[in-house]
Amino acid sequence: MKNQHNLRNVLAAALIAFCGLTLTSCRKFIQVPPPANSIVTSEIFADSTDATAAITGIYINMMNSAGSADIANGLTDITSGLSADELNITSNVASYQEFYINAITITNTNDATLWNTAYTFIYQANAVIAGATSSTTLSTTLKNRLTGEAKFIRAFLNFYMVNLYGPVPLVITTDYKITGSLPRASIADIYTQINSDLKDAQALLANDPAPINKLRVNKFAVSAFTARVQLYQQQWAAAESAATTVINASYKLEPNLNNVFLVGNQEEIWQMTPPAPGDETTVGQLIIPGSTTSVPTFIVTNTLLNFFEANDQRKLKWITSSIINNITYSYPYKYKLRRDNATTPTEAYSMLRLGEQYLIRAEARAEQNNLAGAISDINAIRTRAGLPNTTAASQADVLTAIQHERSTELFCEWGHRWLDLKRTNNVGAVLSADKTGWKSTAALFPVPYAQTQLNPYLVQNPGY
């Protein structure tokens, strides 16, 4: 969907994309300018097929986004990897270069895309929540499933917005008259909403009779993301409990590292596939060179390469190199395909996977001084990587070992390294030593310029 320059316009225009991707449901929207801001809930949510198409449309939009990266489809991985110490860029494209040098301009197009697509998808989730909960014809089972998925998606996006931008508008309605002039909510209020949405989603999906589907949010995806959210809030016991729920379920660490990002593998809790036949993941299309003679656009830094211990299979399987004009370029290789001729994708974009859950539980256990439990979880990840057990013994050393494993297990996935540096208060110390001109204000991305110009209540982050 084409980026808009005004939150009001973004939210209203989301209706157009939403309608286009829900196929038979286009007739269900009110056509009343300016702008059409409501969905006729008595119609679109009167029929189970149309109602299901509404939530399916959100997944399609998140993965499609007119064939380009967005906040839910690779752009978070790339921009956060550049902002941290994982990725460098070989081209002079300013919209990416600015993230690498931590000097993002307020007119940066990738920054605008992150912001705009987040609120597009949040709008769509709000529309499903409003429509499903008010429906008098859908079955309770279907209403619960649709509302639970939509509340999870809203929580997921709000989590990334608050961690990338700090205080942001908290949009929980489809009324453009309200959303167009919202001020920035406090971080505490945003997390309160995230926690509320996840709690509701867990209850709504707890007894969902539908078979477990990795391509749709289910109760275990809710538990997995709840574990992450609780970790960030330093709610150690809650984080451990949620992660344990997932670890004790039917998911297993994929023994072959080359299979971790394939469709339907046993480690994935939630993954999404591109809707267009022949396409593989957007991340693969961005990172994998187009030919053997092409210089990769995004390469891993020496800092990241040096994180890996000798014989770490993750370095051998998840990073590869091209030699162009006698220069070696190493780049991420978790996703190994750009496009193919398959009717259905071979690889799927990893949203939540089991490897992270072991590391969440390890950190939560270590913070509660359950060092034996933490070490056991660390070793589960290290064993899969072909490494010996950790030698860490003290609480401080175990916590350091966990952050090391997060750096090598979760690199270039969903901004984990960037957000870990910030939540552990190490971003300044690490990046000021790694990059020239680091400023503390770069820890937050700027609010897009057009948004601050058109919404007088939306103030800019310091330093921009």
In angstroms, rounded to a whole number, what is the distance separating the alpha carbons of residues 197 and 215?
Answer: 20
φ/ψ bin of 166: left (φ > 0), alpha (ψ from -120 to 50), beta (otherwise): left
Per-residue confidence (pLDDT) for residue 85, from 0 to 100: 98
Per-residue confidence (pLDDT) for residue 42, from 0 to 100: 56
Block means of pLDDT (10 residues each) for the chain, length 464 residues?
37 37 30 35 78 94 79 97 98 97 98 96 96 94 98 98 98 90 97 98 96 95 99 98 98 98 97 88 94 96 98 98 97 92 88 98 98 98 98 98 98 98 98 95 97 93 97
Instruction: Kindly report, residue by residue over 194-232, the tens digit of the pLDDT.
Output: 999 999 999 999 999 998 999 999 999 999 999 999 999
Per-residue confidence (pLDDT) for residue 177, from 0 to 100: 83
Per-residue confidence (pLDDT) for residue 41, from 0 to 100: 52
Residue tagged 């750096």 (tokens):
407
Per-residue confidence (pLDDT) for residue 67, from 0 to 100: 56
- Domains, the chain, ordered by start: 7-210 (1.25.40.390), 235-333+349-430 (1.25.40.390)
Counting Cα atoms < 13 Å in the Cβ hemisphere of 421 gives 23
Per-residue confidence (pLDDT) for residue 68, from 0 to 100: 84
